[in-house]
Structure 1
């Protein structure tokens, strides 16, 4: 399951995976994100709260995640990842090779700094 909320007038999307991810969740998330991208041309930032990330339900869910990322990453300026998991700490360096957005890790309890970085690039 993916919970989400918007910050700063739909400039920043926060997503929180709270259970194993399923393919339908990425379609539902795209239905929320696509209209904002169509209206503004981009999404200033994506905040991924990965503190409770439990992985994917199955291979189809992983593929859906990859498709969602492929379709959306060109329209996102920055991605912040909140996590204290050492393995997830390497995710930003890995993502930087595959997405056009700048990706940066933040400690799990530092939402405020992550939002500030997403909102005020430079």
Structure 2
């Protein structure tokens, strides 16, 4: 059986699973709740609770789950699975890198931590005016698709307001992307703005970031360099130099 709590504040949908889940549970309960929520929101966050009385899925439920994921692939913003069931925890962990949104697994005793994780901001993109043609884009934490949506309009507006464009990309506190859709949003934003800057400084503190800068240089028309975190001031000076 599946029961749904949609809440009253536009917060995450809470889904409780008990007994053996059948395809009809998806079709009659879960799918209508998700489709109703997506009429009011571009994407949703979902808390799935499989307690000690959860017995598993029948084949119809497995197929219904697959159809639900494919038909609403871009509709999920974040998913938290709360369960003590070992095989289910392992399955979610293995699948999470391939999901279009961030997904985390929590024990039943940590359900409040799961609720907090669904509501909190995981990462951010800060855009800072450095004066003249120079703009700093600072990536913080684990970035989700919403962060890219919010940053895109701000970046476009700042580029329009200046003569020329030089970019300082600060990766010193960047820890990764939250799901496949966030990675796709990153490359979409990069592709749309790749031809605009005439100089790019990448500041980081990890080897992969230096490698990424070298790879990025193959696609940019701009002069670009990597600077270690300790040389952040030198990066700004190089960026603003004639």
Which structure carries more relative contact order (alpha carbon 8 Å, separation 6+)?
1
Q: Which residue of 2 aligns with 1:65?
A: 186
Q: Offset of 1:89 from its aligned partner?
A: 1.4
Moved over 6 A (4+): none
Q: Which residue of 2 aligns with 1:22?
A: 144
Q: Which residue of 2 aligns with 1:99?
A: 220
Which digits, 9 at most, give the CA deviation of each residue in 1:49-90, with x for residues without a partner? 211111100111111111101111111111111112112111
The 8 Å contact of residues 210 and 226 in structure 2, kept in 1 or not, is answered as yes
Task: Give the gaps of 5 or more residues in structure 2.
Answer: 1-123
How many residues are treated as equivalent by the alignment?
119
Which of these two proteins has the greater Rg computed from alpha carbons?
A: 2
Change in CA separation of 1:17 and 1:36 when aligned onto 2, cut-off 3 Å: closer
Q: As a proportion of its length, which structure holds more strand?
A: 2
Q: Which residue of 1 aligns with 2:125?
A: 2
- In the superposition, the TM-score normalised over structure 2's length comes to 0.46
Superposition CA RMSD, Å: 1.6
Q: Distance in 1 between matches of 2:203 and 2:218?
A: 19
